[in-house]
């Protein structure tokens, strides 16, 4: 058998070793999935704390149970910070961050530095899959030349694919295996290997003709959401001026059984994908002399939402005879979406930054984030406040930024002097509720 046939055979027999590089919200569920179906799995991460916790059978992500990690370790899964372990793997799956830099340009440093750390340990007959969201052409322009410099012929004795992650942390309706997986290879042979890699673990694998198509597919998915959220956020501002409840409008429109998908407004965009990914395409499009006005406009609208929320808070305090400066403001929910502990690109933190800059005494309450974590661009020495009648009555206002189910909304309504509601939890009219 040739290299392709041997590799496919190992995946089909589940005798292959799967290497997962990057053990965060994408990589860790993938590690658990492959382990649960009988594969040997090696997880690689530069964070020694993650490595230690996994090997101790402990979870550092709220919606992932420690029992699941312990079961994987018992089955032989291991975590390490030693990139040399990649030489033991039949497949290497990269699940590392792709943020934007301060100029809102793609930062591929995590991808390229990880790849450079792996290069000395690549072996003939492996497949490497990039799952990190990026611009079309990244796999061909950044990964392919590095692999070829090692002396491999991609499509013959080494295989390269792009298969974008589609994780939705905390969504109980979908698991890693039930979300269809896009797979595009550099060659037809690469795609065949990629399908065989993911087919045992994922219920439905969707092949596409190239890595570029797969990269563009991921961007389209997230740009679709970003643009539609930008639209409804803009309509929220218009509806508010007209005295119309935008949440009631969206609910009514959603009764149409065709041609409409409901998107709801909020305080801005959060998570690793939707606030970031559209700018990967706008940046790449400039290389071709194109200006993606539609995408950039939605980005402008969504990025302005935290300031809009602060302006509504300012109006509410002003009506009560209070200034924003010096006011005590409690932010409810600092994770980027409900019922998770994921802080990536959370608009709640942007709101906190704006309030602090304007002289507010800022605190927060979040049942999923007990202590404000270390973040690249934000630094708050705060712990989550317990919500009680006393603690609520002691602040000048609360900003409902993330609508976790664990919040006692009746308690908040009864005792908070002023509520800025960015999530439409308080639909009925109340003098103390400001819709934002």
Residue 279 has pLDDT above 90, yes or no: no
- Whether the CA torsion 8, 12, 17, 18 is positive or negative: it is positive
**Average pLDDT of 71-86?**
98
Distances (CA, A) of 361 to 259, 323, 395: 46, 12, 9
**Average pLDDT of 267-296?**
85
Residue 430 has pLDDT above 80, yes or no: no
Residue 259 has pLDDT above 90, yes or no: yes
Task: Show Cβ contacts of residue 95 under 8 Å, excluding neighbours closer than 6 positions.
Answer: 20, 21, 22, 23, 24, 26, 27, 30, 131, 132, 165
Q: Give me the domains of the chain, ranges plus CATH numbers.
A: 3-209 (3.40.50.720), 219-301 (1.10.1040.10), 304-435 (3.40.50.720)
In DSSP terms, 238 is beta-bridged to none
Task: Show Cβ contacts of residue 301 under 8 Å, excluding neighbours closer than 6 positions.
Answer: 230, 231, 233, 234
Identify the pLDDT of residue 1: 82
Residue 78 has pLDDT above 70, yes or no: yes
pTM, rounded to two decimals: 0.91
**Average pLDDT of 423-431?**
85
**Average pLDDT of 367-395?**
92
Task: Answer yes or no: are the C-beta atoms of 305 and 347 closer than 8 Å.
Answer: yes
**Average pLDDT of 237-259?**
96
How many CA within 13 A on the CB side of residue 129?
A: 29
Q: Is 183 a catalytic residue?
A: no
In a 10 Å sphere around its CB, with 0-12 CB exposed, 13-18 middle and 19+ buried, how is residue 1 labelled?
A: exposed
- For 92-142, the pLDDT digits (tens) are 999 999 988 877 788 999 999 999 999 999 999 999 999 999 999 999 999
């Amino acid at each position: 058998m040739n290299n392709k046939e041997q590799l496919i055979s190992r995946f089909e027999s589940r005798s292959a070793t799967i290497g997962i590089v990057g053990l965060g919200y994408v990589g860790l569920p993938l590690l658990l999935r492959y382990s649960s179906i009988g594969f040997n799995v090696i997880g690689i991460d530069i964070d020694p704390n993650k490595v230690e916790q996994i090997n101790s059978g402990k979870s550092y992500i709220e919606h992932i149970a420690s029992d699941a990690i312990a079961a994987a370790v018992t089955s032989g899964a291991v975590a390490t910070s030693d990139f040399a372990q990649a030489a033991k793997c039949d497949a290497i799956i990269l699940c590392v961050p792709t943020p934007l830099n301060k100029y809102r340009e793609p930062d591929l440093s995590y991808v390229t530095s990880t790849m450079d750390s792996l290069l000395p340990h690549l072996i003939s007959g492996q497949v490497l899959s990039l799952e990190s969201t990026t611009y079309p052409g990244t796999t061909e322009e950044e990964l392919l030349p590095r692999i070829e410099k090692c002396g491999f012929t991609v499509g013959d004795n080494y295989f390269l694919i792009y298969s974008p992650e589609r994780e939705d942390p905390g969504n109980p309706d979908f698991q890693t295996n039930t979300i269809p997986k896009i797979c595009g290879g550099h060659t037809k042979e690469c795609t065949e290997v990629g399908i065989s890699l993911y087919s045992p673990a994922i219920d439905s694998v969707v092949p596409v003709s190239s890595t570029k198509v797969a990269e563009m597919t991921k961007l389209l998915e997230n740009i679709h959401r970003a643009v539609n959220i930008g639209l409804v956020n803009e309509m929220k501002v218009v509806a508010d001026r007209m005295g119309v409840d935008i949440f009631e409008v969206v609910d009514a429109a959603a009764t149409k059984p065709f041609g409409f998908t409901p998107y709801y407004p909020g305080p801005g965009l959060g998570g690793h994908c939707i606030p970031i990914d559209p700018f990967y395409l706008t940046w790449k499009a400039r290389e071709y002399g194109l200006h993606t006005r539609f995408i950039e406009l939605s980005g402008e609208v969504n990025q302005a939402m935290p300031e809009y929320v602060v302006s509504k808070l300012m109006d509410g305090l002003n009506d009560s005879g209070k200034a924003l400066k010096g006011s005590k403001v409690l932010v409810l929910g600092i994770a980027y979406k409900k019922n998770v502990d994921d802080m990536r690109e959370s608009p709640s933190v942007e709101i906190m930054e704006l309030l602090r800059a304007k002289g507010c005494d800022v605190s927060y309450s979040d049942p999923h984030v007990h202590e404000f974590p270390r973040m690249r661009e934000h630094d708050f020495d705060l712990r989550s406040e317990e919500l009680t009648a006393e603690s609520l009555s002691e602040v000048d206002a609360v900003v409902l930024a993330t609508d976790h189910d664990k919040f006692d909304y009746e308690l908040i309504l009864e005792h908070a002097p002023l509520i800025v509601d960015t999530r439409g939890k308080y639909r009925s009219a109340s003098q103390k509720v400001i819709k934002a």
